[in-house]
């Protein structure tokens, strides 16, 4: 008994010491300190990058890492204004057909070679090369002529005005000296990239982590955070546990985590939470070559049978708003007056009856002897979307549609199913860019391998409107075209637009210099810092405390 009491006492003392230490640390974290170079930020991703050449990747994990490695000629600032990146300045001709970019001098690739206009020309040429399997050629195909004037001056000319022309040059510029004359699809840069950006690639352990180190010669100044680590954690629950147990420093919070599971003093002492309406929408997308989904009445019926309010209130816990199209409500291009689909089972049943479906003795709808059943595919690890699929499954079963759910690891989901059009329906999300150009996702010409119109949507009026919207510089005129596109999409329902989520991001309090803005949180990442007395990791060892 005495030994037991002693052990118990030791445990209590140890716990008190830990509690006191954390309380002391939490008090320390409230000190803004001074900017200093050092420490490591560890983030988590439920999906692994497909590759690290942005031209060849369409997934968010790839672009998240690559954004720290590469630069474009221009970029958005915190207020979503277009500013220079690799270009110091530019001139647009009076007829809006030409842009002359004046490039920064003294910029070097991570291997030490100088960056020049020849790298920009290479990037343009490889993008428009029909042998390059990219989803991003469309903007550059509109260039009539591209010309290197000298090492630091680059000129592009278009046949007619192109509204997103300037921001299209935010595309990552690639190193000509490492890629020209070689097959880009087999390049070592797929896994060992070389850029001009604020971070230099160090290591990629498949299924484990990627590590980047601060670029000491970065033209905007060396980032304060010495290392950036992305850990692959294919489950949001595990991700949250890692956050609370110091395994990662920053994470997107699921609705339950944001609303309930982080509302306790210890978490608030150590983490800051940031909330804003995300630049994203989530949707149920249909393979429009499927014999049932070709009929818009079927797609409309499914949308009527899904209770979006139930999803937002019950699954998102209010952390989102209903999506009615491909824009979020606080943007100038958003049309709030499109056709709405409130939850209406009777309307859903009526539309399916019009489409020729009748209910059999087993309660399942059928047409021409084929039962109405299909599989929803979605990626592993996103519990919110999985719960959405389960709710959709339940609601559709109530009107006689049998739905199966298949959850697949992220890379296989994209490469083996989405890219190969090997699906009946998917739940996915798109990131919304500040410029409202919808061409790459909705134009009928963008159905090739690795392109973004993978549901095979075709509508002649939408095609015409997309082109008109790209080639007018008058915002009000452009807005009219974009509004009409949204009206057609609302009528056609090629997607059931589900919701625009709130971004809830938790970041450890030792990280300072974070400035929330219309562009989100990461716009000034190179200025984030950890005061010397608050560091957790050594400068030269990402995972060594």
C-alpha of 79 from chain center:
19
The pLDDT of residue 12 is: 45
Q: Is residue 8 part of a domain?
A: no
| Residue at a domain's end among 177, 210, 241 | 177
Alpha-carbon distance of 166 to 83, in angstroms, equals 10
Q: How many domains does the chain have?
A: 3
The pLDDT of residue 7 is: 46
CA dihedral 488, 494, 500, 506 (to 10 degrees): -150
59 plus 87 within the same structural domain: no
Structure tokens given for 302: 């499914």
393 plus 244 within the same structural domain: no
Q: Are 440 and 452 in contact (CB under 8 A)?
A: yes
DSSP secondary structure of 179-220? HTTS-GGG-GGGTS---SSSEEEEEEETTTEEEEEE-TT-TT
Sign of CA dihedral 475, 90, 116, 227: negative
| Residue at a domain's end among 177, 212, 239 | 177
The pLDDT of residue 449 is: 84
DSSP secondary structure of 62-106? HHHHHTTT---SEEE-TTS-EEESSEEEEEE-TTS-EEEEEEPSS
Q: How many residues does the chain have?
A: 545
Q: Is residue 266 part of a domain?
A: no
At 304, which CATH number? 3.10.105.10
The pLDDT of residue 450 is: 84
Alpha-carbon distance of 392 to 394, in angstroms, equals 5
Q: Is residue 100 part of a domain?
A: yes
Structure tokens given for 359: 């209910």
Measured CA to CA in angstroms, residue 422 lies from 56, 285, 295, 355 at distances of 20, 13, 19, 25
Q: Are 427 and 282 in contact (CB under 8 A)?
A: yes
418 plus 454 within the same structural domain: yes
Q: Is residue 334 part of a domain?
A: yes
62 plus 76 within the same structural domain: no
449 plus 518 within the same structural domain: no
Alpha-carbon distance of 5 to 12, in angstroms, equals 10
At 221, which CATH number? 3.40.190.10
458 plus 316 within the same structural domain: yes
| Residue at a domain's end among 124, 144, 177 | 177
**Strand ranges in 380-447 using DSSP code E only, listed in sequence order:** 402-408, 425-431
At 134, which CATH number? 3.90.76.10
The pLDDT of residue 411 is: 84
| Residue 391 CB partners (closer than 8 Å, separation 6+) | 306, 307, 310, 311, 314, 315
C-alpha of 10 from chain center:
48
Alpha-carbon distance of 107 to 115, in angstroms, equals 6
The pLDDT of residue 21 is: 47
**Strand ranges in 220-322 using DSSP code E only, listed in sequence order:** 225-232, 250-252, 271-277, 280-286, 320-322
pLDDT in tens, the chain (545 residues): 444 445 444 444 444 444 444 544 667 888 899 999 999 999 999 999 999 999 999 899 999 999 999 999 999 999 999 999 999 999 999 999 999 999 999 999 999 999 999 999 999 999 999 999 999 999 999 999 999 999 999 999 999 999 999 999 999 999 999 999 999 999 999 999 999 999 999 999 999 999 999 999 999 999 999 999 999 998 889 999 999 999 999 999 999 999 999 999 999 999 999 999 999 999 999 999 999 999 999 999 999 999 999 999 999 999 999 999 999 998 999 999 999 999 999 999 999 999 999 999 999 999 999 999 999 999 988 899 999 999 999 999 999 999 999 999 988 998 899 999 999 999 999 998 899 999 999 999 999 888 999 999 999 999 999 999 999 999 999 999 999 999 999 999 999 999 999 999 999 999 999 999 999 999 999 999 999 999 999 755 444 33
474 plus 452 within the same structural domain: yes
Q: Is residue 272 part of a domain?
A: no
59 plus 84 within the same structural domain: no
Q: Are 55 and 494 in contact (CB under 8 A)?
A: no
Alpha-carbon distance of 3 to 85, in angstroms, equals 67
**H/E run at residue 146:** strand 143-150
Alpha-carbon distance of 202 to 193, in angstroms, equals 9
Structure tokens given for 280: 């994203």
Q: Are 418 and 407 in contact (CB under 8 A)?
A: no
Q: Is residue 264 part of a domain?
A: no
Q: Is residue 108 part of a domain?
A: yes
359 plus 466 within the same structural domain: yes
Range of the domain at 343: 280-501
Q: Is residue 188 part of a domain?
A: no
Q: Are 278 and 501 in contact (CB under 8 A)?
A: yes
44 plus 109 within the same structural domain: no
Backbone region of residue 362 per phi and psi (left: phi > 0; alpha: psi in -120 to 50; beta: other values) = alpha
294 plus 432 within the same structural domain: yes
The pLDDT of residue 176 is: 98
Structure tokens given for 448: 């090739």
Q: Are 365 and 359 in contact (CB under 8 A)?
A: yes
301 plus 217 within the same structural domain: no
CA dihedral 77, 81, 85, 90 (to 10 degrees): -160
Alpha-carbon distance of 238 to 226, in angstroms, equals 26
Q: Are 185 and 450 in contact (CB under 8 A)?
A: no
Q: Which of 166, 257, 121, 255 is nearest to 470 (CA)?
A: 166
């Amino acid at each position: 008994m005495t030994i037991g009491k002693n052990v118990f006492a030791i445990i209590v003392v140890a716990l008190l010491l830990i509690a006191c230490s954390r309380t002391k640390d939490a008090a320390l974290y409230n000190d803004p300190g001074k900017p200093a170079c050092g420490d490591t930020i560890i983030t988590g991703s439920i999906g692994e990058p497909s590759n690290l050449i942005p031209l060849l990747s369409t997934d968010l994990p790839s672009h998240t890492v690559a954004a720290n490695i590469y630069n474009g000629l221009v970029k958005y600032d915190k207020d979503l204004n277009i500013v220079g990146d690799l270009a110091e300045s530019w001139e647009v001709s009076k007829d809006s057909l030409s842009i002359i970019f004046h490039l920064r001098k003294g910029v070097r690739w991570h291997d030490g070679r100088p960056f020049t206009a020849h790298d920009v020309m290479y990037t343009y040429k490889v993008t428009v090369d029909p042998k390059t399997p990219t989803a991003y050629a469309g903007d550059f195909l509109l260039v009539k002529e591209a010309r290197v004037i000298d090492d630091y001056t680059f000129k592009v000319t278009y046949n007619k005005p192109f509204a997103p022309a300037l921001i299209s040059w935010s595309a990552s510029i690639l190193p000509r000296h490492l890629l020209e004359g070689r097959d880009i699809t087999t390049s070592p840069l797929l896994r060992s990239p070389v850029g001009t950006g604020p971070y230099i690639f160090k290591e990629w352990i498949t299924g484990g982590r990627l590590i980047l180190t601060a670029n000491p010669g970065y033209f905007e100044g060396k980032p304060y955070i010495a290392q950036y680590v992305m850990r692959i954690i294919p489950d949001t629950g595990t991700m949250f546990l890692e956050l609370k147990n110091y395994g990662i420093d920053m994470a997107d919070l699921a609705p339950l985590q944001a609303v309930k599971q982080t509302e306790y003093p210890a978490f608030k002492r150590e983490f800051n939470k940031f909330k804003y309406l995300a630049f994203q929408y989530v949707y149920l997308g249909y393979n429009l070559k499927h014999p049932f989904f070709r009929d818009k009445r079927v797609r409309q019926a499914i949308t009527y049978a899904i209770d979006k309010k139930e999803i937002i209130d019950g699954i998102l816990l209010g952390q989102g708003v209903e999506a009615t199209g491909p824009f979020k409500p606080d943007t100038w291009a958003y049309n709030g007056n499109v056709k709405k689909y409130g939850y209406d089972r009777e309307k859903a049943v009526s539309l399916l009856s019009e489409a020729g479906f009748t209910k059999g003795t087993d309660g399942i709808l059928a047409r021409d002897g084929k039962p109405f059943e299909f599989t929803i595919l979605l990626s592993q690890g996103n519990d919110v979307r999985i719960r959405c699929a389960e709710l959709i499954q339940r609601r559709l079963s109530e009107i006689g549609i049998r739905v199966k759910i298949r959850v697949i690891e992220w890379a296989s989901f994209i490469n083996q199913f989405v890219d190969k059009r090997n699906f009946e329906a998917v739940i996915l999300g798109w990131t919304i860019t500040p410029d409202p150009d919808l061409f790459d996702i909705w134009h009928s010409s963008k159905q090739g391998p690795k392109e973004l119109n993978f549901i095979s949507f075709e509508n002649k009026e939408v095609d015409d409107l997309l082109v008109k919207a790209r080639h007018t510089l008058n915002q009000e005129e452009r807005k009219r075209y974009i509004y009409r596109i949204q009206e057609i999409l609302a009528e056609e329902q090629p997607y059931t637009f589900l919701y625009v989520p709130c971004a809830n991001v938790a970041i450890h309090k030792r990280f300072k210099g974070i400035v929330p803005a219309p562009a989100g949180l990461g716009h000034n990442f190179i200025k984030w810092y950890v005061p010397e007395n608050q560091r957790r990791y050594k400068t030269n060892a990402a995972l060594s405390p």
